[in-house]
Structure 1
């Protein structure tokens, strides 16, 4: 069932027959539902591999959706797509092999051209992960106010801990607290910088995997 917005002449949310209406980037759009032939429903070997890769990436990104909504926000506006779909498309193309297996070192959770985190190091104690990095702002005082973004993700348990607006670039350190119940679990970690005005963001850097 669909509901109309602003009367019969406005956009609508939901399904009407073979069409679906929804709002995208402030605009009302409509798309038709896909039609599958009996052959396509069964799927060729390549189609099955593609669907498997799609499912694996969907499963991987689901816990970090709040992070990628910020991380891919600027690029999503340029492409007029949702941040989730841009992140999924980019990472399926660049961070999955032919079997759909994910390479965390190639995963990006933020997308942009701002100068990123350099010379990152991590120390671990019972509090969590302690990050440090080089102040690579140079003589640009605006870059000194960029804020670090950090993500720690345990893929085995599908849980993540993160900061979207951490310490400034020139403060060169940040702490991400992790609950003690996660002791012994492996975490994959990414870092990034976002501008103070949110008008620029860097490509995320994969720091590695660490046992808490």
Structure 2
């Protein structure tokens, strides 16, 4: 049963018949319950679309802590998750009986600042991965340092790891130790920089991409 808030003319929360009331970012919303459709024979196209949706959703879920920073400036009336989904959906396609990713075009951020340029990766024999980059648009905003965030995505899309506040943008380099789950695979790395002010202002860079074999 739904409950009315702020009198008869106010919004309500909960389920009333086929309608559900909720509140998001201070705004009361109404939505209808989804119609349950039972299908015994699901088309191949529908199964392929489900597979694409599942993999896109998994990618964004794995990177959710970074997505909340990287897509905040462009989310507006959407959640950061939905904004990230819309930006990445077309880069997951179903081919040859499985989902493939267009790794270089995946995005974890969509801001007004230029991306990290000239990203270079080196891996030593002890498993230390060093990331170097060139100049950035800004290194500080109102006394607050811009921080670099990193996401490592394994080539089979079955493992990932996030690094929040890995280094200052002004450091021009950072190091991470490869985990056992990363070794023996091709790794896709995504990096961007921003300040905590990115939650209210557009101090977020676009996403930089690089790859390296960890075999």
Deviation string for 1:14-40 (max 9, x for gaps)? x4432233332232312112326667x
Note the C-alpha offset of 1:75: 1.3
Distance 1:52 1:141 in 2: 40
Higher strand share: 2
CA-based RMSD of the aligned residues comes to: 3.2
Partner of 1:12: 13
Distance 1:182 1:47 in 2: 33
The answer (yes or no) to whether the contact 2:129–2:177 under 8 Å persists in 1 is: yes
Distance 1:21 1:150 in 2: 38
Provide the secondary structure at the position in 1 that maps to 2:59: helix
TM alignment of 1:1-212, pairs within 5 A: 9-13=10-14, 15-35=15-35, 42=41, 46-76=45-75, 78=76, 80-93=77-90, 95-97=91-93, 99=95, 101-125=100-124, 126=126, 128-137=128-137, 142=140, 145-154=145-154, 156=156, 158-180=158-180, 182-195=182-195, 197-198=197-198, 199=201, 200-211=203-214
Deviation string for 1:89-108 (max 9, x for gaps)? 11113x13465532111110
Note the C-alpha offset of 1:193: 1.5
Provide the secondary structure at the position in 2 that maps to 1:164: strand
Higher helix share: 1
Distance 2:101 2:180 in 1: 28
Normalization by structure 1: what TM-score? 0.77
Distance 2:85 2:37 in 1: 26
Normalization by structure 2: what TM-score? 0.76
The total of aligned residue pairs comes to 205
Note the C-alpha offset of 1:62: 2.4
The answer (yes or no) to whether the contact 2:113–2:204 under 8 Å persists in 1 is: yes
Deviation string for 1:48-89 (max 9, x for gaps)? 44333212211332222222122112211x2x1111111111
The answer (yes or no) to whether the contact 1:127–1:178 under 8 Å persists in 2 is: yes
Instruction: Name the CA shift for 1:44/1:58 in 2 (closer, same or farther; >3 Å).
Output: same
The answer for unaligned runs of 5 or more in structure 2 is: none
